Amino acid sequence: MHILVIEDDVDVADYLVKGLAESGYVVDRASDGRDGLFLALGQSYDAMIVDRMLPGLDGLSIVQTLRAQDNRTPVLILSALGQVDDRVKGLRAGGDDYLTKPYAFSELLARLEAILRRGTGEAGDPKLRVGDLEMDLLTRAVKRAGRSIELQPREFKLLEYLMRHAGQVVTRTMLLEGVWDYHFDPQTNVIDVHVSRLRQKIDKGFDHPLLHTIRGAGYSLRPETA
């Protein structure tokens, strides 16, 4: 996967590029807005990570220019501005996701994977499948190995999100945003309790676990162990 990183802070950029390279990505970098846009327009990338405050041309303008040119490359916007309204601005400009600095690298990685997956586009499949777990979006029925599982509405939404991001690392923040539309950190590990309840319902009594805890990052729904 070819990623473009546009970030002017040298230390942060080094850290990012190193981490991404270690995770198997091929990374190009630019430290100036205009250089970054030039690179973005010249090549086709699988995803971009763009800092909002840049010399030359700011991040949001870069994204707007790309979108105006019908460039649909998934973009993850990084910013020190973290209020909800700033996030809305970033997404409206054409960004696919918005991450506030400072962030944990695992968070960034998880979100990058998520927007990469989104980029490939999925058909409107009414059924989601992970291993022997099946979810029918129309009938709201959930089955594993043929056995029917009863889920509360919120548990259903949680499982749906995990299934749509199957194989990826899903952080607690992503779950809060995706399932509750909460853009703040409640501090207490409220999400963990929800996940363990879900685990009780979909993993207990079956031959192998699907819902895994990824230490220091979050959770992942996948047929094999991490």
Partner 1 sequence: MKAGRIFRTSTFRLTLLYLAPFGILVFVLFAVLYWATLGLIDSQTNATIEAEVRGLAEQYGAHGLDRLVQVVAERSGPNGEKGAVYLLTGPDLHPLAGNLDAWPETRNTVSRDGWINFEIDRSSGGNATTRQIRAKVFRIEGGFRLLVGRDMAERAAFRAVIAKTLTIALGIAMALGVAGALYLSRMLLARVEAVAETSRTIVRGDLAGRVPLQGSGDEFDRLSTSLNEMLDQIEHLMTGMRAVTDSLAHDLRSPLTRLKGRIENALRSQPDGPHYRETLERANADVDAILATFNALLSISQAEAGAARSSMSRVNLGSIAQDAFDLYEPLADEKGLTLKPEIEADTFIIGHAQLLAQSVANLLDNAIKCTPQGGTITLTVRRGRDRSALVIADTGPGIPASERQHVLERFVRLDASRSSPGSGLGLSLVAAVAQLHRAALRLEDNNPGLRVTLEFEATAGEDEIKPQAVP
Q: Does 183 bind partner 1 (CB under 8 A)?
A: yes
Residue 202 CA to residue 39 CA, distance in Å, equals: 46
Can residue 204 be called a binding residue for partner 1 (CB under 8 A)?
A: no
Contact with partner 1 (CB under 8 A) among 26, 145, 190, 226: 190
- Least Cα distance to 45 among 22, 57, 27, 33 occurs for 27
Tokens 């990824």 belong to 214
Residue 186 interacts with partner 1 (CB under 8 A)?
yes
Judged by beta carbon, residue 70 or residue 185, the one nearer partner 1 is 185
Chosen residue from 154, 167, 205, 208 binding partner 1 by CB under 8 A: 154
**85 is a contact residue toward partner 1 (CB under 8 A):** yes
* 185 is a contact residue toward partner 1 (CB under 8 A): yes
Residue 147, C-beta contacts closer than 8 angstroms, at least 6 positions apart: none
Q: At 76, phi and psi to the nearest 5?
A: -110, 120
Establish if 140 lies at the interface with partner 1 (CB under 8 A): no
User: Least separation, in Å, of the C-beta of 32 and partner 1?
Assistant: 28
- For the chain, how big is the Rg over CA atoms in Å? 19
Residue from 44, 120, 139, 188 touching partner 1 (CB under 8 A): that is: 188
Asked if 80 touches partner 1 (CB under 8 A), the answer is: no
Placement of tokens 């807005």 in the chain: 33
**DSSP for 74-130?**
-EEEEES--SHHHHHHHHHTT-SEEEESS--HHHHHHHHHHHHHHHH-----SEEEE
C-beta closer to partner 1: residue 44 or 188:
188
Applying CB under 8 A, which residues contact partner 1? 82-85, 102, 154, 180-188, 190, 193-194, 197
